Amino acid sequence: MPPKAKFTKREITETALNIVRTDGLEALTSRELGLRLGSSARPIFTVFKNMEEVQQAVIESARSLYKEYVNRGFAEEHPFKGVGTQYILFSVNEPKLFQLLFMTQQPQKPDLSGGLPLIEESYEEILLSIQDEYGISKLLAERIYHHLWIYTHGIATLCATKMCRFTSDEISSMITEVFTSILKHIKECESDD
């Protein structure tokens, strides 16, 4: 009969998430996790097979937390802008989790069309928000989304690495200016064809 678990999967995952939140994924070791739980590392492995499983649970928890931000963005008056703003806000409030989800080297280098849907589980929903609000095709919505994602990712990365700080008004203004310029350019190109 296997030993009774001293901690639940949720307790271990929450503690591991807090380690990563403050110190990054590299700080998540079985020793540190046991220390934070007030135990040895042994009870961790009655629930998880190895530290890779713990890391995967942390990544899933971080994704769930990020999804809450995305949902708040969708609830705003302009959902596409709302999601972009929330993406940046996530990087400000949770810099280590942002780095874990969006600044980790990938095993392969897909192009943006293939890579963005892999890292953003709400990709299709975001595209639809652009199509619906601005009455444009999926192809044009993708072009706008890709441009704006690169731009917002740049701002978010600057925030997550503490290279720059922006006010909410600055972020709103920057996103609006770039979005308006790109939309105008794309519509002009479309009418020229």
Tell me the pLDDT tens digit for each residue of 98-129: 999 999 877 776 666 667 777 788 999 999 99
**Which range of residues forms the domain containing residue 94?**
77-192
Do residues 185 and 125 both lie within one domain? Answer: yes
Looking at the structure of the chain, the number of domains it has is 2
Q: What pTM value is reported for the model?
A: 0.90
Q: Do residues 87 and 73 touch, judged by C-beta distance below 8 A?
A: yes
Regarding whether 86 and 136 lie in a shared domain, the answer is yes
**Cα gap 29→41, rounded to integer Å:** 9
CATH of the domain at 34: 1.10.10.60
Look at residue 94 and tell me if it is in a domain: yes
Residue 187 has a pLDDT of 79
Q: How confident is the model at residue 1 (pLDDT cuts 50, 70, 90)?
A: very low
Q: For residue 59, is it within any domain?
A: no
Residues 44 and 81 in one domain: no
Give the C-alpha separation, 174 to 127, whole Å: 20
Does residue 2 sit within a domain?
no
User: Is 70 part of any domain?
Assistant: no
**Do 97 and 161 reside in the same domain of the chain?**
yes
Domain for residue 55, yes or no? no
Is there a single domain that holds both residue 162 and residue 82? yes
Kindly give, in sequence order, each residue whose CB lies less than 8 Å from that of residue 74, ignoring residues fewer than 6 positions away: 82, 83, 122, 125, 129
